[in-house]
Amino acid sequence: MASKPPRDNDLEAILEKVRQVRNFDFRNYKRATLQRRIERRMNATRCRTRGAYLALLEREPNEINTLVSSMLIKLTTFFRDPEVWVSLEKVLKELARKRRPDQELRIWSAGCATGEEAYSIAIAAAEALGPGMPGPELKVFATDVDEAAIAFARRGVYTAQQLEGCSKERLARWFTPSSGGHTVRKEIRRSVVFGVNNLVSDAPVSRIDLILCRNVFIYLDADLQKRVLARFHFAARREGILVLGRSELIPFAARLFEPVDLPRRIYRKDGRQEFALAPPEPLPVPDPPSPAHVLATVNAQDTQRNFLRGIIDSQICPIIVTDAEGTVKLTNQAATRLWSRSEAELAGKRLASLGLPGLNPDLLVEQTARVRVGRSEREVADGVLETPGAEPTTLRAQVVALRTATGETQGLIYVAHDVTSLRGLEQSFQRATEELNAANLRLQTSNEELRASNEELETTNEELQSANEELQTTNEELQSTNEELETTNEELQSTNAELDATNRELAHRTHEMDALAFSQRTIIRTLSAGVIVLDAQGRISTWNLAAERLLGLTEREAVGQVLWTLNVPALARAVQMRIRKHLSENRSLRQEEISYQLPHGGRGRATLVATPLIMDSTLLGAIILFEDTTRASALAQENRELKERLKK
């Protein structure tokens, strides 16, 4: 027996966190698929290790919702795989022909995602039922574990891309145009009932004529596949139809259902298997009552029930007692402790539908059927009970029948034993046996070598089948990613065209602005008056050649400095403070006949004008003009003196 891969504690902790927060149990999903989904989210969130990603889940609960959505792949379209739908249309016509006038045609679309497949089967069934349909005769139950996907499906609005698989005739007949694309007609929407349902833990829909569950099993491990198939077998009517995905070739399905079209994965519930699994009709109980009869009637006799409860509670092994139909009647305290469920949660429910971990699905279905009909006295099967934070527990469960004196089955008893230690001894014994076999293999003839080669080929074939399932899953992911990339590429092309046009416009505007800035700077530098431009904090951004000549500081010394902190020989401190006060009050200042010290010595006269630059009540800065009026003042003085002499 191949050993299980070593446990990844961080991975198990992530799955346990998802189960606690969202009540999604992914522990029995295929590890390779889960690892790819988690690693994709780790790359998106830039987490280097799974431990770091687990810490992120603790901090950001919304990331758990994103992780669950990435694990639940919703790759589906209308009438996907046309060859399968051709066969399904024939099956639906046969079901419609065999249906009684007062009987519903009941269909279950399990794992319906966003509803495309559920509406597709409803349309095909309505066409098979004939004109005037669908009416109350058609009922399609569409279920999925994702509440957001179910909410989307209930709206029944799909884009043209989602409807590519739908023919023009069906599009015109069963859809109406709407602003969001096309809406499914009310006649079809009324016949489809959407609901949230977990195939593993929730009760299945019953009395189903056709079960459609495609591309769900490829994500489940072998034990979980068997458990869900057993639920489907219970839910289907006699000769009901089961349809799986093209990549889902499950040997256990052929043991419960009869293949109808194996290449397209269409099965029919085997009537013989139905008879073998069905409980026998209850028979009259002989008098006086036997011990088996006492247990079968325990519900009506309180004294005997308490006595029997004391007996089974005294046992240290978990015990579950059912009637002949598989309905739980009694459980002892060891069973309620082991599975952490009260007796009220277990009593009155089918044991096979409870999904108790550690109970092998084969034991609950096929082996129980052999005990019930008398082909075997007892059956035994092993299972593994996974416990978070602890090593797995190996359970060995056996089932025996409670029979009357005449040999009729009145009930069943299931007893579980913890054989973890025994299993370790068995594995040690197996390793010793394997070592002996290896020694014998070295002495075998060429015929035995050929047999060993054949076993290797069988192992390789199983690995190839597993790899093929993973490739199918990866292909679906790549298809979904490719569609997203195509959409993103179109958006990027459109955005790129807009950016090119914007860049050209910006380049033209930049060229104009550069030319304008050059002209402005040239004009300012050639003015005869000193020009000083300040920003809102008083920092100098412009200092022209005239300012260098008149004020005694070079442009390199002045630009970038705060004017009020500079020692400018031509501007007295009082003048600077007056300028600063007026600008802070958003007022202009004009001062004439300012006496200042010339750079080459002597005194001169100048006119100073300070103007604030204001936009929308916000001060952007200021411009200061400093114009030398020494010569003009001297000429004016000479003119006045000349006039006075002329008057004399």
Question: Catalytic residue numbers?
Answer: 37, 144
Reduced to 3 states, what is the DSSP secondary structure of residue 166?
coil
Three-state DSSP class for residue 574: helix
Element (H, E) at 582: helix 573-584
Q: What angle do CA 209, 210, 216 make, to 5 degrees?
A: 145
Find the DSSP H helices in 141-196: 147-155, 168-174, 186-191
- At 184 the three-state DSSP class reads strand
Q: Which residue has the tokens 């929407």?
A: 189
From CA 582, how far away is CA 346, in angstroms rounded? 88
Task: For residue 50, give the nearest of 9, 103, 5, 81 by alpha carbon.
Answer: 9
Which residue's structure tokens are 């006045």? 640
User: Cβ distance 562 to 573 under 8 Å?
Assistant: no
Could you give the CA distance from residue 446 to residue 128 in angstroms, rounded to a whole number? Answer: 61
Q: In what order do the strands lie in the sheet with 530-535?
A: 540-543, 530-535, 618-628, 603-615, 589-597
The two structure tokens encoding residue 139: 């009922």
Rounded CA-CA distance 330/325 in Å is: 14
Cα–Cα distances (Å) from 329 to 118, 168, 350, 360, in that order, read 37, 56, 10, 20
Q: Which two tokens stand for residue 140?
A: 């399609």
Helix (H) or strand (E) holding 194: strand 192-196
Residue matched to tokens 């020494």? 630
Count of C-beta atoms within a 10 Å radius of residue 514: 10
Residue with tokens 């705060």: 562
Q: Which amino acid is at 174?
A: W
Instruction: Residue 22: count other Cβ atoms within 10 Å of its Cβ.
Output: 16
Which alpha helices (DSSP H) does 413-445 contain, by range? 420-441
Note if the bond before 288 is cis, omega within 30 degrees.
yes
Nearest to 192 by CA among 169, 215, 174: 174
Q: Is 551 exposed, middle or buried (0-12, 13-18, 19+ CB in 10 A)?
A: buried
Residue 395 DSSP SS3? strand
Q: What angle do CA 619, 623, 628 make, to 5 degrees?
A: 155
Pairing of strands 138-144, 192-196: parallel
For the CA atoms of 377, 381, 386, 391, what is the dihedral angle to 10 degrees?
A: 110
- What would the DSSP string read from start to end of 438-456? HHHHTT--HHHHHHHHHHH
